[in-house]
Every structure is written in structure tokens, then in C-alpha cells.
Amino acid sequence: SDQHRGWFQSSLIESVGTRGRAPFKAVSTHGFTLDEQGRKMSKSLGNTVEPAQVMKQYGADILRLWVASTNYTEDQRVGPDILKAVAENYRKLRNTIRYILANLKDWREDERVAPDQMPELERWVLHQLHVLDGEVRGAYGAYDFNGVFTALSAFANADLSAFYFDIRKDALYCDPPTSLRRRAVRTVLDELFNALTAWLSPILCFTMEEAWATRHGAEAASVHLRQFPTIPDNWSNPELNARWKRIRDLRRVVTGALELARAEKRIGSSLEAAPVLYVEDPADLTLFQSVDFAELVITSGGKVMTGAGPDTAFRLADVKGVSAMFERATGQRCERCWRVLPEVGTLSGASDICHRCHDAVKGHE
């Protein structure tokens, strides 16, 4: 910024000369704002971007998110295509909050499940929140808004939307309301909502205020009057995190095999499959046997076997000693959860649903 040689320097010299001290404790500066081609903005080039026009088209939070997503220690660029990409990132974050809100409808505090009673997957999410808490606080303290945005965006997209939400939507939609698993999921969603709305509120101030008021009512205190939530240290579990890192690697091999089968029109949905996972390391066998295989890969069944697997099995170069084969699930489709299971049609008076769905429906009667 040219202001290092201008206002910052002149005000510093004058204050030191007249008062014997700097006129500020610290100065946070940014570079020039350029167009998408890296050119200086000027009316003659017609490449200026009017903030008022951006807010009219996208809303103020898009402009704020653009600022947060740039590296302001360098010259930053802005233009129609860049703003369109920022709007897409905003849409994904907003959809994450909307999904959480929708699945917390009618939440009651007596549903809450203690972390030590939760399934491993829920405890893994709590560990991620503990890690993020340190990253977000550190980034805000260093005025690293891009670091905040990058960490929260990656968490929302890769860890939540593409992984945790994808796996747990079956439990949310199909488990009985009183089931431990479903209650644990909703407990985690409550913690996610409290943390994400607080962490994002300095950047997406209007959106987080809207989300907070949607859940707690317009008469509730503003989200901006809250402190960041205190994340308990006992949520930290590096050993569990390491286990689930490997589990996710193994899962990628299975989902890769399923995507190939889908591309070849052999299945339309992963719930039509019951894949076989081959692992050469006995530790991987033990690891995957500790989780619900079908639930994890969103299929109707599946099994894990030791060995190298057939030559035709699907493999990923970065996941050594693991392969997967597609097999079709046997049985009939449950009309409630859509799983293909042999048990569908075996219950009197419930010929089109599985045993779990029968119990869930019966519980509502």
C-alpha cells in the first residue's frame, strides 16, 4: 500500500515528534484492489466495481465474504467472475447452516447425549470442533480472515456436507426419534450450530443473525452479543482422529468403486449395492469391523475380507493394500429408507418396509 509512505508514516513521525509515542498500537493494512486481470481500476478502463452495486446484486455478506477470502497482505482482485465464485462459497456455507437448522426442529434439551455415550463418528466431529476452535481463535487474533474462511469452508464442505451429513441423513430421517444414534446426531448438530454461528458472525454478520433468530426467535439476544463458545478439552481425541483418517481413506476406495458402477449404469443409487472391501493389512480389517460398513459407505450391505482382491477390483494409488468390488444387494427395497434387504416383505401387515422402519413407524402410532 502506498499509505506506508503516506498517512501511516507521516502520522507516526508527527506523533513521535510531538508526543513521544506512536499514534496507534498496531496498523493492519491491505494492498491495492485490482480487477480480475490484475489491472489498476480506473473509470477510463471501465473496470471499476461499485460496492453498492455488489450489495444490490448479492447482498452485503457476499462483499464481506470476498474481503475475508482474500489475502489482504497482497494486492487483491475483484470482478464479476470472482464475486460469482464467492457467492457460490457463500451458498454452500448458508446451506450447511440451513441443513443444521432443519434437523434441529423441535429440539429439546432432554435429548442431549453425553459425549462418552455417543457413537465414534459423533465423537470424531466433536474432535474436529475442538481443533477448529484453536484454528479460528488463532486466525482471528492474527487478523487472518482468509484463514478463518478457509478452515470453516473446508470443514463445512468436506467434513460435514460430503461426509458426516451424508452418512447420518439415514439416522435423522429413518431412526425412531428416541434412538440413541439419532439423539447423538442432533446433539452434535446443536453444538455445530452454536459454534459455526459464533465463528462466522464477524464475517457473515447478517446471515448468522438471521440463522440465530430463526432458531431462537426474533426476541432473542443478538448473535453478536455472544462470546465464542468454550469447547471442552475432553472433546480432543487425536487417537480417534487418526483412526477415522484411515477409515475415510478406506471409504474412498469403496465409494470410488460405487461411482464407477454408477457411471457404467449398473446401479442408480449406492443403496442398490453391497460391496466387498479387500484389505491386506489385518489392522485395517480390525479397524473397519469396528464400524457399521453399510452405514459408512451408504449401501444396503457389504463385507470386509483380507487379501489383495481380484485384479479387476477398484483401487486408488494413494491408498495402498486396499481394493473394492461392486456387488448388487439382494432382497427388496424398503419403501421408507430405500435400503435393499432380504427382510423386506417378511413382516405381516408391513410388506413394503424393513424391520427397523417397522419399529420406527410403530413408535409413532
Q: Which cell is 227 given?
A: 462470546
Tens-digit pLDDT profile for residues 136-171:
999 999 999 999 999 999 999 999 999 999 999 999
- The tens digit of pLDDT for each residue in 62-81 reads 999 999 999 888 888 999 99
Pairwise CA distance, residues 136 & 363, whole Å = 42
**Do residues 263 and 115 share a domain?**
no
Strands 303-306 and 276-279: parallel
> Into how many domains does the chain fold?
3
- Asked if residue 222 is part of any domain, the answer here is yes
Cβ atoms of 197 and 223 within 8 Å: the answer is: yes
Tell me how far apart the alpha carbons of residues 63 and 52 are, in angstroms, rounded to a whole number. 10
C-alpha cell of 352?
Answer: 413394503
Question: Which grid coordinates belong to 207?
Answer: 446471515
* Residue 350 within any structural domain of the chain: no
Same domain, 94 and 175: yes
* Angle separating helix axes 238-263 and 282-289, nearest 10 degrees: 90
Answer yes or no: do 95 and 210 share one domain: yes
Residue that is last in its domain, among 202, 236, 270: 236
Please, which residues bridge with residue 324 across strands? 277, 314
210 shares its domain with 310:
no
Supply the Cα-derived Rg of the chain in whole angstroms: 26
| Residue 359 belongs to some domain of the structure | no
Q: Residue 358 corresponds to which amino acid?
A: H
Same domain? 129 vs 192: yes
Judgement on whether residues 295 and 213 belong to the same structural domain of the protein? no
Residue 148, domain member (yes or no): yes
Together in a domain, 105 and 12: no
* 97 and 212 co-located in one domain: yes
CA atoms 182, 184, 187, 191: torsion sign = negative
The domain that holds 120 is classified in CATH as: 1.10.730.20
Residues 195 and 85 grouped into a single domain? yes
Q: What are the tens digits of pLDDT across the range 4-37?
A: 667 788 889 999 999 999 998 888 888 888 888 8
Residues 111 and 184 in one domain: yes
Containing structural domain, residue 297: 239-329
- Same domain membership, residue 209 and residue 165: yes
Which pLDDT does position 291 carry in this prediction? 92
Asked, for residue 291, whether it belongs to a domain, the answer is yes
Do the domain assignments include residue 361? no
Sort strands 340-341 and 332-333 into parallel, antiparallel or unpaired: antiparallel
CA dihedral sign of residues 230, 103, 186, 170: negative
Mean pLDDT throughout 323-352?
Answer: 93
Q: What is the pTM of this model?
A: 0.92
User: pLDDT per residue over 176-191, tens digit each?
Assistant: 999 999 999 999 999 9
Residue 350 is classified by DSSP as B
Residue 305 lies in a domain: yes
The verdict on residue 74 lying in a domain is no
SS3 317: coil
Same domain, yes or no: 90 and 211:
yes
